[in-house]
Structure 1
Amino acid sequence: MPHLPLPDGTRLAYRDHSPPGPPTRTALLLHGLAGHMGEWDALLPPLLASGVRVVTYDARAHGASTRRPPTVTRRSYVDDAATLVEELGLAPATLIGQSLGGHTAMLLASARPELVAALVLVEAGPAGPSPELPAQIGAWLDNWPTPFRSLEEAEAFLGHEGWARGLERRPDGWRPRFDRDRMVESLTELAEHAYWPEWTRITCPTLLVRGEKGTMPPTEATDMQALRPNTHVTVIPDAGHDVHLEQPERLAWTLDEFFKSAL
């Protein structure tokens, strides 16, 4: 697996997936907090079949990337995504991000519009502040009964095999490929700030995807569309926060319709 070295010493693990023929567009896929690039595996075949060159990667402090990078600020996450787009020749790219990855994609589209052709946010938006968020995430991670004795046990607890595949096998069982404190620290700025000004500066075609049973408040989606009326909004039935894991076929169809109508 290739790694992209960054100036601060962080190394980003990534995979570059090429379609059967000449690419019609490029896409960078950004996973959420405590996630990994493999979460997008079910979405790869339809994207590649439609001619999209797709790059997936493990964010800093996640997966096969540097586990304890010097910083996990919002700026560092955004700079990482921008560097991938530039160094791998993806610009202008479609950014598809879920949860924290969607927030990173949103900030990149706002700060570096020349790098972004389109933006897809899955259960992600600019609302805040959320002062209780770090404690909630910390408590959630503390509740993981690690080490898991098997991937089946991990899947039963975490709710999806995609989450279980993000674990690594150690002598005592299966454990996360991230450190709890880095995950909580990654949310510090989100807990303290809202990002509505950044949202209003975005100019590229944008699709907002909510899960019918997700955690994103419908009012946030309404406010986002009020500020940027051309934003496409869709709700995926029978899906929670992890739309890309729970309903990948419906998400793929939604993306295809967005590409046809907006790009």
Structure 2
Amino acid sequence: MTSSSAGDWTERTLVHDGVRLSCRDWGGSGPDTLLLHGLAGHSGEWDALAPLLRDAGHRVVALDQRGHGASERHPEDVSRAAYVADVVALVAELGLVRPLLIGQSLGGHTALLTAAAHPALPRALVLVEAGPGGAEPGVAEQIGDWLRAWPLPFPSREAAVTYLGNGKRDVGEGWADGLEARDGGLWPRFDPDVMQRSLEENGRRAFWEEWAAVSCPGLAVLGQDGIIDGGEYAEMVRLRPGLHGLSLPGTGHDVHLERPGVLGGVILDFVRRADL
């Protein structure tokens, strides 16, 4: 593993199964916490939440998942199992002890599958706008087409914030932070084809069996106008009656970008109540 300082956090890089993985290590002492961003995202999306958790007594790490950010852009394997294996490898490499797994969207799905396949690994699970889902044929292609339709390169940060935020500046700022300057403009740090392949399994089936296998305490945080509907949440509770959950008013899918302070308070309250 290699490391370099970046001010408030340290960038750490490791190679797992031939794939370069990068993470932001925010340091801190106390319970370990691992943050997982969503599809086409980056570890910097947690820059507002991570120091709140660290200053509240957590050791905090945010991973750039394979295919994203500073990690390998074109990994051959983008299966759900590969994403899970990366989490397990990072936990072992950094010596994290039963971390709290927090994931948004596809990162939450990765956290869910990790908790199901490795029940002794996490202390608890926090799903932000994420769940077992359902088979959605064509969804990978639809999202791939959306990513390929971005008007690239963005000529300025302001143009990127306006387009990617779609009326929500905090969301636009979070997405714009994931861009890189090159070739006369701002470009994403991912390949749309890789993103599309990363979603293929989610389009083919649901993951309710895996959800039912999760044994650690869980918290589900939903956006008022997010992607997890009432039926999916009700089934999550039916299968896991001990699930804690709430919806944050005035938010959408990017709860962690819209209300990082509120989300941090909700997570810390869950940790206290569950005596984790």
Length-normalised TM-score, structure 1? 0.97
Residue 246 of structure 2: aligned partner = 234
- 1:85 maps to what in 2? 91
Q: Contact 2:26 / 2:51 at 8 angstroms: preserved in 1?
A: no
Counterparts of 1:178 and 1:41, CA distance in 2: 19
Amino acid in structure 1 at the alignment position of 2:241: P
Q: Structure 2 unaligned runs (5+)? A: 1-10, 166-171
Give CA-to-partner distance per residue, 1:112-146, whole Å, 9 cap, x none. 01111000000111021111211220221122101
Q: Which one is further off, 35-44 or 210-219?
A: 210-219
Counterpart-to-counterpart distance in 1, 2:50 and 2:242: 27
Give the C-alpha shift of residue 16 in structure 1: 1.3
Matches within 5 A, 1:98-177: 98-159=104-165, 160-177=172-189
Percent of matched pairs sharing the same residue: 52
Aligned match for 1:251, one of 263, 271, 276: 263
Deviation at 1:44, TM superposition (A): 1.5
Secondary structure of 1:68's aligned partner = coil
- Which secondary structure does the structure 1 equivalent of 2:35 belong to? strand
> In the alignment, which residue of structure 2 is the partner of 1:75?
81
The offset of 1:55, in angstroms, is 0.6
Residue 24 of structure 2, aligned match among 15, 19, 22: 15
SS in 2 for 1:83: helix
Gaps of 5+ in 1: none
The answer (yes or no) to whether the contact 1:31–1:98 under 8 Å persists in 2 is yes
Structure 2 counterpart of 1:3? 13
> Given residue 89 of structure 1, which amino acid in structure 2 is its aligned partner?
G
Contact 1:124–1:216 (Cα < 8 Å) also in 2: yes
User: Of 14, 25, 40, which aligns to 2:31?
Assistant: 25
Q: Distance in 2 between matches of 1:130 and 1:253?
A: 33
| Aligned pair partner of 2:197 in 182, 185, 202 | 185
1:30-69 aligned within 5 A: 30-69=36-75
> What is the CA–CA distance in structure 1 between the aligned matches of 2:54 and 2:98, rounded to whole Å?
17
Deviation of residue 258 (structure 1)? 0.2
Matched AA of 1:104 = T
Cα RMSD for the two superposed structures? 0.9
**Deviation per residue, 1:4-29 (Å, 9 max, x gap):** 1112x11101121122xxx2201000
Deviation at 1:57, TM superposition (A): 1.3
Stretch moving more, 224-233 or 44-53: 44-53
- 1:171 Cα shift? 2.1
Task: Report how many aligned residue pairs link the two structures.
Answer: 259
CA contact (8 A) 1:91 1:114 kept: no
Please, what TM-score do these two structures have when normalized by structure 2? 0.92
**What SS is found at the alignment partner of 2:47?**
helix
